[in-house]
Chains A and B, each alone.
Chain A
Amino acid sequence: MPEDTPTDDDVTAPTPRRNTAPTATDGPRRTEGSLRTDGGQVAETTPSIQEIPETDTVIEAKDLTVHYGDVQALQPVNVRLPEREVTAIIGPSGCGKSTFLRCLNRMNDMVDAARVGGELRFRGKNVYDEDVDPVALRRRVGMVFQKPNPFPKSIYDNVAYGLKIQGFDGDMDARVEEALRGAALWEEVKGQLDSSGLDLSGGQQQRLCIARAIAPDPEVILMDEPASALDPVATAKVEDLIDELAAQYTVVIVTHNMQQAARISDKTAVFLTGGKLVEFGDTDRIFENPENQRVEDYITGKFG
Chain B
Amino acid sequence: MTGSERDGDGNVGGDNDGDVRADGGDPFASVGGNIERKQRLGRVFVGICFASTLVGIVALVALIGDVLYEAWGWVTLDFLTYPPSRFIENYYPGGRGAGIYPALIGSILLIALTAVFTMFIGVGAAIYLEEYAAESRLKSFIEANIANLAGVPSIVYGLLGLAVFVRAVGFGESLLAGALTLTLLILPIVIVSAQEALRAVPDSQREAAYGVGATDWEVVRDVVLPAALPGIMTGTILSLSRAIGETAPLIMVGAATSMFVAPVREVSGVPVPDLFGSFAAMPMQIFDWARLPEAEFQHVAAAGIVVLLTVLLLMNVTAILIRNKYETR
Contact = CB atoms under 8 A, between A and B. Distances in A.
Contacts of A143: 207, 211
B218 interface: yes
A145 B204 contact: yes
Contacts of B1: 2
A196 B329 contact: yes
Given A165-B218, A196-B329, A135 B207 contact: no
Interface in A132-188: 135-136, 138-139, 142-145, 147, 149-152, 161-162, 165-166
Contacts of A135: 213-215
Contact of A151 (B134, B208, B215, B218): B208
A31 interface: no
Contacts of A139: 212-213
B208 A110 contact: no
Interface string B206-248: 1111111111001000110011000000000000000000000
A99 interface: no
Nearest to A150: B208
Contacts of B202: 149
B210 A145 contact: no
A149 B208 contact: yes
Interface string B176-213: 00000000000000000000000000101111111111
A139 B218 CA distance: 14
Contacts of A165: 212-215, 218, 222
B207 A110 contact: yes
B135 interface: yes
A142 B212 contact: yes
Give the interface size bracket for A toward B. 20 to 34
Nearest to B202: A149
Contacts, number: 67
A26 to B, nearest CB: 32
Interface string A181-213: 000000000000000100000000000010011
Given A135-B214, A152-B227, A145 B207 contact: yes
A161 B204 contact: no
B210 A110 contact: yes
Given A135-B215, A151-B223, A152-B227, A161 B134 contact: no
In the A-B complex, list the 9 residue pairs whose CB atoms are closest, starting with the nearest. Answer: A162-B212, A139-B213, A143-B211, A149-B204, A138-B213, A149-B208, A112-B134, A112-B135, A135-B215
30 contacts: A2-B1, A105-B211, A107-B207, A107-B211, A110-B206, A110-B207, A112-B134, A135-B213, A135-B215, A138-B212, A142-B212, A144-B211, A145-B207, A145-B208, A145-B211, A149-B202, A149-B204, A149-B205, A151-B205, A152-B226, A161-B209, A161-B214, A161-B222, A165-B214, A165-B215, A165-B218, A196-B329, A209-B208, A213-B211, A213-B212
Given A150-B208, A151-B222, 19 more contacts: A135-B213, A135-B214, A138-B210, A138-B211, A142-B211, A145-B204, A145-B208, A149-B205, A149-B208, A151-B209, A151-B223, A152-B226, A152-B227, A161-B214, A162-B212, A162-B213, A165-B222, A166-B213, A209-B208
